[in-house]
C-alpha cells in the first residue's frame, strides 16, 4: 500500500516529475494522487497545459506548454499544485498558503517538507492574494523537490 493511501503524504515516486530543462524555466508540479471527481486546474490553465482523461483521472501537466504562471495553484481545492523553478543554486517555489497572517515579501520563513518538518530557511519573494493565496519563496536548490509548505514566525 502506498504511503498516500494511509497517511495522505505523497512521495516523489508517486509523481510525474519534470526534466531538468523544464525546471530551469519553471513548471507546475501536480501532487494530486487520489482519483477524485475534480478538474478546476484543467480549466484554469491559460495555456492548456493540464489535461485529464476523464473527470476522475489524475491531471497531467504538459511540461512543454506550461510556463509556470501558477494560476492553477489558486483554484486547486486540494492545495496540491506547486510551481518549481531552479536557477543555479537557488530554487523558486510557488505554493498555496491558507494560514493568516500572510508573510511579507522579504520575510525569512522556515520551509517545510510534505510531513510538515522544517528543512531549511527560505525567503518570501512574493505574496499573491487570491481565492487561495500563493506565496513565492526562494531557498537552496537541493530542497526544490521537498519544500512544500512554510512556517511563518
- Cβ distance to ligand SF4 smaller for residue 38 or 141: 38
Among 77, 105, 115, 126, interactor with ligand SF4 by CB under 6 A: 77
The reply on whether position 95 binds ligand SF4 by CB under 6 A is no
| Strand ranges in 1-132 using DSSP code E only, listed in sequence order | 27-30, 50-51, 60-61, 81-87, 90-97, 108-112, 118-128
User: What nine digits make up the cell of 94?
Assistant: 510557488
How far is Cα 98 from Cα 51, in angstroms, rounded to an integer? 26
Contact 111, 150 (CB under 8 A): yes
Largest CA distance in the chain: 42
Q: Between residues 47 and 99, which has the closer beta carbon with respect to ligand SF4?
A: 47
Listed in sequence order, the residues at least 6 apart from 108 whose beta carbon sits closer than 8 Å to its beta carbon are: 121, 122, 123, 124, 153
Smallest separation, CB 123 to ligand SF4 (Å): 21
CB of 138 vs ligand SF4, minimal distance in Å: 18
Footprint of ligand SF4 on 30-59 (CB under 6 A): 30, 32, 38-41, 44-45, 47, 49-50, 59
CA distance 148 to 7: 16
By CB under 6 A, tell whether 69 contacts ligand SF4.
yes
- State the nearest-atom distance from the C-beta of 118 to ligand SF4, in Å: 25
Output 74 or 138, the one with its CB closest to ligand SF4.
74
Q: Which residues bind ligand SF4 (CB under 6 A)?
A: 28, 30, 32, 38-41, 44-45, 47, 49-50, 59, 61, 66-72, 76-78, 80-81, 83
Amino acid at each position: 500500500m502506498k504511503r498516500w493511501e494511509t497517511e495522505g503524504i505523497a512521495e516523489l515516486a508517486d509523481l510525474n516529475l519534470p526534466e531538468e530543462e523544464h525546471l530551469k524555466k519553471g513548471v507546475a508540479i501536480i501532487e494530486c494522487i487520489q482519483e477524485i471527481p475534480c478538474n478546476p486546474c484543467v480549466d484554469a490553465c491559460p495555456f492548456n497545459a493540464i489535461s485529464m482523461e476523464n473527470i476522475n483521472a489524475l491531471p497531467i501537466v504538459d511540461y512543454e506548454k506550461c510556463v509556470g504562471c501558477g494560476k492553477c495553484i489558486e483554484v486547486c481545492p486540494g492545495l496540491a499544485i506547486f510551481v518549481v523553478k531552479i536557477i543555479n543554486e537557488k530554487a523558486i517555489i510557488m505554493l498555496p498558503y491558507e494560514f493568516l497572517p500572510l508573510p511579507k515579501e522579504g520575510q525569512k520563513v522556515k520551509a517545510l517538507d510534505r510531513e510538515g518538518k522544517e528543512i531549511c530557511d527560505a525567503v518570501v519573494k512574493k505574496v499573491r492574494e487570491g481565492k487561495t493565496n500563493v506565496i513565492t519563496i526562494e531557498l537552496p536548490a537541493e530542497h526544490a523537490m521537498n519544500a512544500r509548505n512554510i512556517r511563518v514566525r
